[in-house]
Structure 1
Amino acid sequence: MFYFVKDNALKLRDDLEELRRLGGMFNVSTHETADGKELRLHSSDAVVSIRYGADPVQERHRLLKHAHKRAVERAWEIEKTLVSSGLSGRGEWTEEEREELLLRGRVEGYDGVDIHSIQRYPQLADDPGNVTFRNDAKHKRKRRTHHHDST
């Protein structure tokens, strides 16, 4: 999937006209979005999305957030598969947490977080291998302790 942003929503009409000249190379569809319009081009080899009237910085943030969410969901699926196969998985799970993981597909109190920053390495945003599981309560406690020590 390839993403492009054009700040001028009026360019959609010009691009549709150009695509008509290309003939049947792509299946073309248009969609209304919260902040403009989207043109999608589908072929057997690729999908191209062009957003019109969107802010490029906000669009990048939206795409990275969506990709990270997918990566976390897949990381939980992989973790459940590993644990159900008798492997330890990536987390240091207690027996209760293992049971919860197998039953619910995730463990309450744990969040999927990036190992490497997806802001710095956006190519890792959709990679479940870039996700680790952090106990939210432990993380908050560490931050409070660190913040308290620094004051």
Structure 2
Amino acid sequence: MKKRLCIVLTMGMVIMCIPFSLAAERNKKKPSSVSATVSFERAKQDEETKASQLLRAEEWVVYLSRLPDGQDKPQIDILTFSSGNVFTSKNLASKGYRSAAYSLTPGNDGTSAWESLGEHTDGSLAFWHGELKGRLMHGVVSIQQKNAATEDFYFTTEASDIKR
């Protein structure tokens, strides 16, 4: 009788422990997926930090060409990205546009996109969208003059990319 009682109790304990060991096995898998997510987020933050440091490291000389045909002589502008995510276009600043905040979004392929919306003292707007990969930058600026048509320009850091 004692032997049967010991067997029943032992079997009961084994049966009761099975769900706990299965739960422990399932929980072992979760940290790896959480760890992968944390690693991905950390890598994305690292890319954003690198891109931000690269943008702020220098003044960017860009060549602008009017869209859609680019028939005009290319214009040269100097873009600066300051700490506090402040963007300035020297050409537009000389025409009354204020410095503006910019946002930076890292991509998965090493390309980072940045955007800024500058405002003129008269209410005109300049929307910038640029992409940075390594030390090359290109993008589009759309200038909406108050009570006038929008002008679109392509810009790049490579003078050879502009049609003359």
TM-score after normalising by structure 2: 0.27
> Normalized per residue, which structure has more strand?
2
TM-score after normalising by structure 1: 0.29
